[in-house]
Amino acid sequence: MAKKKVIIIDDDFDILEATKLTLQAAGYDVATAASGQEGLAKIRGGGIDLIILDVMMARDTEGFQIAQDLKEDPKFKQIPILMMTSVSAKSGLSFDPVKDGDYLPVEDYVDKPVDPADLVQRVAKLLKKN
């Protein structure tokens, strides 16, 4: 059975590398992108099973827009998105994919910093659904 491929889109190099190493150790094939545009290009290239997406990159709401665009596209809307961000800590706002689904079209949401074991568990759960 082929490894599931996860892409991490985050402009923080340290988060990108730590998350990549965590998921590779758990047996996933991991791609990374340091910007939303780079991430979208890799997603459009195909083969992605799960997206881990930051919110605040070039623009404070870039991740929200990327998630919205992907979920509106029939070719990509089935790919689960785990939003992993510190926006709640920085803004004081909290988000929930169930109650905030209109503007947060993701399957799961977690605040940074993320416990590595929790991250692996969330990824496995989302990929099991897909």
Q: Could you report the per-residue pLDDT of 13-31, keeping only the tens digit for each?
A: 999 999 999 999 999 999 9
Give Cβ neighbours of residue 70 (< 8 Å, ≥ 6 apart). Answer: 40, 43, 51, 76, 77, 79, 81
- Per the model's pLDDT, the better-predicted residue between 96 and 8 turns out to be 8
> For residue 93, what are the domain limits?
5-129
DSSP 112: S
- Per the model's pLDDT, the better-predicted residue between 101 and 125 turns out to be 125
How many Cα atoms sit within 13 Å of 20 on the Cβ side? 15
Residue-wise pLDDT for 48-97, tens only, equals 999 999 988 888 788 888 999 999 999 999 999 999 887 554 545 555 55
* 3-class secondary structure, 117: helix
Q: Cα-flanking dihedrals φ and ψ of residue 66, to 5°?
A: -60, -45
Say if CB 65 and CB 94 are below 8 A apart.
no
Distance of CA 29 to the CA centre of its chain: 14
Burial class (CB in 10 A: 0-12, 13-18, 19+), 99: exposed
CATH number at residue 118: 3.40.50.2300
pTM, whole model, 2 decimals? 0.88
| 50-53 β-sheet, strand order | 29-33, 5-9, 50-53, 81-85, 108-111
Structural domain count, the chain: 1
